[in-house]
C-alpha cells in the first residue's frame, strides 16, 4: 500500500498564493498517478487564521485528494482552532478525518495515531501559576503519557501503524542548517518512539530530514512542498510510504517525492567604493526560473551609485531568466570621528572653518554668507 505524507502547506493569500495552489494541484495529480491509498497531512494547512478564499482553496484541494483516497489531517501551530475542523465536514468520495487534539483512527487498514500541536496556553491555563520550569516538566510528562496511551491502542491493531504529529523534535535543523535547541514544547526521538508506531511522520520544520530509532523506526519530516521564504534553498516535496505486512512482520519504507517548486534565490552584495560596483553578485549567474531577492549593503554617501548598479544587475538577472528581482537596500551608516581641530576650536565660526578644512572643502565667497547665517542662529 502507498501512503502519502504532506506537511506545512501554509495556504495564504499573502504568501505566494499562485505558487501554493500550483504546487498542491501538482501533488493532487501526482497522488492519483501513483495510486496512493491513504493521504496524511501533518499540520499547518493554513498560515494563519484563514480567509474565505483560503478555506475555499483548501476545501477544493482536499476534495480532489479525497476522490483518490481517505485523508487524515492533524492541526499545526499555524492552524487556528476550528479552521481545519471545517474541512472534516466536506462531502467526498473518501472520508476526510480531522484531529485537533489526540486520537487513533483506523483508516484503509492503517492505524493512524494523531497528535496535534500542543497548545501551551491552554495547558498553562489549566495548570495555573506553577512557573515556567514546572509547566515544561508537566507538559512533557503529559505528552509522554499520551504517546504511551497510543502504544496500547496500536498494539491491538494487526496492520501497519503511523504516528502523525505536528511537533518540534529536539535537534532538528532549519532550512539554514541551524540546529534547534531549547525550544518550548519539544520532543526527543526517544519520546516519539513511545507510541510504538511503525512509522513516525512529522510536521513543523520546513526542511526535509529523517532519523531512525534504535528499533529501526523511520522518523521523518517531509518538509514543506513549496518555498515560503528566501532562506529555503533545499529541495521541496512530500513522502510516499510503502507498507509491507506479513503475519509477524510490518515494514514501512519511504521515498521523497520532489515537487516542481519555484526556486527562491537570495543574493547578498556590498558596495565597493574603489571598484565602484557591488561585490557578491556571482550568484546571479544561476537564477533561471527563480524568484530573486537582491539585498545589497551600501554606505549612505554611495546610495545613488549603488542603486544604479543594482538596477543594472536586476536587468542582467532578468535576461538570464529570473522571474522577477526584488531590490533590497541596506544603508550602512558611516560614523566619523570628529577632527581634533574641530574639537579644539572655541567659536562656532572657528569650528565651521576647521570642519570645512578637515573635509577639504573650499567654499570661496559662500564661506562668509554661511558664517553670517550661523552667527544669527547662534544668537537666536
Q: How far apart are CA 158 and CA 123, in angstroms?
A: 34
Confidence at residue 380, expressed as pLDDT on a 0 to 100 scale: 58
Confidence at residue 181, expressed as pLDDT on a 0 to 100 scale: 47
Report helix, strand or coil for 211.
strand
Q: Quick one: CA dihedral 284, 288, 290, 291, positive or negative?
A: positive
Q: How far apart are CA 58 and CA 21, in angstroms?
A: 9
Structural domains of the chain, ranges and CATH numbers in brackets: 2-258 (3.60.21.10), 264-332 (no CATH), 340-379 (no CATH)
The answer to whether 299 and 327 have CB atoms below 8 angstroms apart is: no
Q: What is the largest CA-CA distance in the chain?
A: 101
Greater confidence (230 vs 112) lies with 112
Greater confidence (286 vs 245) lies with 286
Confidence at residue 186, expressed as pLDDT on a 0 to 100 scale: 82
155-195 confidence digits (pLDDT tens) = 999 899 999 999 999 888 877 655 554 455 688 999 999 99
Percent of the chain with pLDDT over 70: 88
Question: HSE on the CB side for 23, CA within 13 Å?
Answer: 26
Confidence at residue 247, expressed as pLDDT on a 0 to 100 scale: 57
Mean pLDDT (the chain) is: 88
Which of 143-147, 255-259, 345-349 shows the lowest per-residue confidence on average (mean pLDDT)?
345-349
Of 333, 321, 325, 316, the C-alpha closest to 295 is 325
Whether the pLDDT of residue 366 is over 90: the answer is no
Percent of the chain with pLDDT over 90: 65
Which of 116-120, 234-238, 253-257, 328-332 shows the lowest per-residue confidence on average (mean pLDDT)?
116-120
Confidence at residue 346, expressed as pLDDT on a 0 to 100 scale: 75
Q: How far apart are CA 375 and CA 367, in angstroms?
A: 12
Which of 15-19, 281-285, 293-297, 316-320 shows the lowest per-residue confidence on average (mean pLDDT)?
281-285
Beta strands 186-187; 168-169: pairing state: parallel
Q: Which residues pair with 243 in a beta bridge?
A: 252
Whether the pLDDT of residue 83 is over 50: the answer is yes
Which of 63-72, 93-102, 358-367 shows the lowest per-residue confidence on average (mean pLDDT)?
358-367
**What mean pLDDT do residues 79-99 have?**
94
**Edge-to-edge strand list for the sheet holding 250-258:** 96-99, 71-74, 38-41, 2-6, 237-245, 250-258
Confidence at residue 336, expressed as pLDDT on a 0 to 100 scale: 58
**What mean pLDDT do residues 184-211 have?**
92
Whether the pLDDT of residue 44 is over 70: the answer is yes
301-324 confidence digits (pLDDT tens) = 999 999 999 999 999 999 999 999
- pTM tops 0.85, yes or no: no
45-72 confidence digits (pLDDT tens) = 999 999 999 999 999 999 999 999 999 9
Q: What is the DSSP letter of 195?
A: G
Q: What is the DSSP letter of 11?
A: B
Amino acid at each position: 500500500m502507498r501512503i502519502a505524507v504532506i506537511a506545512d502547506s501554509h495556504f495564504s493569500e499573502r504568501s505566494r498564493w499562485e505558487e501554493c495552489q500550483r504546487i498542491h494541484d501538482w501533488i493532487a495529480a501526482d497522488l492519483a498517478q501513483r495510486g496512493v491509498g491513504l493521504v496524511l497531512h501533518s499540520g499547518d494547512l493554513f498560515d494563519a487564521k484563514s480567509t474565505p478564499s483560503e478555506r475555499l482553496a483548501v476545501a477544493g484541494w482536499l476534495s480532489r485528494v479525497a476522490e483518490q483516497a481517505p485523508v487524515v489531517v492533524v492541526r499545526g501551530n499555524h492552524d487556528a482552532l476550528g479552521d481545519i475542523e471545517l474541512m472534516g465536514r466536506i462531502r467526498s468520495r473518501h472520508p476526510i478525518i480531522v484531529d485537533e487534539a489526540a486520537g487513533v483512527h483506523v483508516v484503509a487498514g492503517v492505524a493512524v495515531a494523531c497528535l496535534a500541536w500542543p497548545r501551551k496556553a491552554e495547558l498553562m491555563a489549566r495548570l495555573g501559576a506553577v512557573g515556567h520550569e514546572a509547566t515544561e516538566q508537566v507538559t512533557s510528562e503529559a505528552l509522554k503519557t499520551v504517546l504511551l496511551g497510543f502504544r496500547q491502542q496500536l498494539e491491538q491493531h494487526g496492520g501497519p501503524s503511523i504516528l502523525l504529529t505536528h511537533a518540534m523534535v529536539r535537534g532538528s535543523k532549519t532550512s539554514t542548517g541551524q540546529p534547534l535547541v531549547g525550544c518550548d514544547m519539544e520532543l526527543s526521538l526517544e519520546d516519539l518512539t513511545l507510541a510504538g508506531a511503525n512509522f513516525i511522520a512529522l510536521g513543523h520544520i520546513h526542511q526535509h530530514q529523517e532519523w531512525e530509532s534504535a528499533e529501526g523506526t523511520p522518523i521523518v519530516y517531509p518538509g514543506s512542498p513549496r518555498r515560503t521564504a528566501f532562506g529555503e534553498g533545499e529541495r521541496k516535496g512530500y513522502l510516499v510510504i510503502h507498507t509491507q505486512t506479513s503475519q509477524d512482520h510490518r515494514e514501512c519504507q519511504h521515498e521523497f517525492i520532489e515537487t516542481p517548486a519555484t526556486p527562491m534565490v537570495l543574493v547578498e552584495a556590498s558596495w565597493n567604493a574603489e571598484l565602484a560596483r557591488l561585490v557578491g553578485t556571482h550568484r546571479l549567474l544561476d537564477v533561471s526560473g527563480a524568484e530573486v531577492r537582491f539585498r545589497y549593503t551600501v554606505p549612505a554617501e554611495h546610495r545613488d551609485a549603488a542603486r544604479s548598479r543594482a538596477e543594472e544587475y536586476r536587468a542582467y538577472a532578468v535576461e538570464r531568466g529570473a522571474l522577477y528581482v526584488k531590490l533590497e537596500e541596506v544603508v550602512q551608516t558611516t560614523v566619523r570621528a570628529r577632527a581634533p581641530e574641530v574639537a579644539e576650536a572655541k567659536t562656532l565660526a572657528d569650528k565651521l572653518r576647521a570642519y570645512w578644512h578637515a573635509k577639504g572643502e573650499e567654499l570661496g565667497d559662500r564661506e562668509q554668507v554661511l558664517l553670517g547665517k550661523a552667527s544669527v542662529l547662534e544668537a537666536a
